[in-house]
Amino acid sequence: MMKRLTLSVAAFLIFGQQASAGEHATAKEAEAMVGKAAKALTANRDATLKSITDKDAQWVHGDLYPMVYDMQGKCLAHGQNAKQVGKDLIDIVDADGKEFVKERVELAKSKGKFWQDYKFTDPETKKILPKSAYCEVASDVVVCAGVYKR
């Protein structure tokens, strides 16, 4: 009996994790992630930037992860692609030619909190999809997290 129960629990954990990996983030979750990251950056900037880029479990939930930029468009942390960190991305464009990081920095300077639409490669399907990022200014950086429009 105990062996069967253990196997059932193991199967539940395995299949439960697979099901949650396919779930897609919501706008509310993106806003919560950005708020949490902004607060953490204020408390301990260097450790937070490192843990975001290291894909610490507190920062990566399925297809939701934070990105942090300085006010000139340099990537300071990226929860999905560490190769972006340290790069000046101000002139990067999406599939439609939109300079989304430049726009993001401009919106950050004028609004403080905002939603922004652009296109980006979905890490699950590897297809370019419409995406909407929620961003907030936290001290002297912009923190964003995005949701794919499926």
Residue 12 has pLDDT above 80, yes or no: no
Residue 62 has pLDDT above 90, yes or no: no
Helix (H) or strand (E) holding 120: strand 113-121
* pLDDT for the residue numbered 148: 93
What is the tally of structural domains in the chain?
A: 1
> What is the domain range of residue 97?
29-148
In a domain, 11, yes or no: no
In a domain, 141, yes or no: yes
In a domain, 60, yes or no: yes
What CATH number is attached to the domain comprising 108?
3.30.450.20
Mean pLDDT of the chain: 87
Residues 6+ apart with CB under 8 A from 89: 69, 73, 74, 75, 101
- pTM for the model: 0.83
CA 100 to chain centre: 15
At 47 the three-state DSSP class reads helix
- Residue 67, beta-bridge partner list: 78, 144
Residue 70 has pLDDT above 50, yes or no: yes
Residue 17 has pLDDT above 80, yes or no: no
In a domain, 19, yes or no: no
In a domain, 134, yes or no: yes
Range with lowest mean pLDDT among 20-34, 51-65, 111-125, 130-144: 20-34
In a domain, 5, yes or no: no
In a domain, 45, yes or no: yes
If you average pLDDT over residues 113-139, what whole number do you get? 93
In a domain, 91, yes or no: yes
Query: How far apart, in Å, are the Cα atoms of 22 and each of 16, 18, 62, 64, 114?
Result: 10, 7, 7, 11, 27
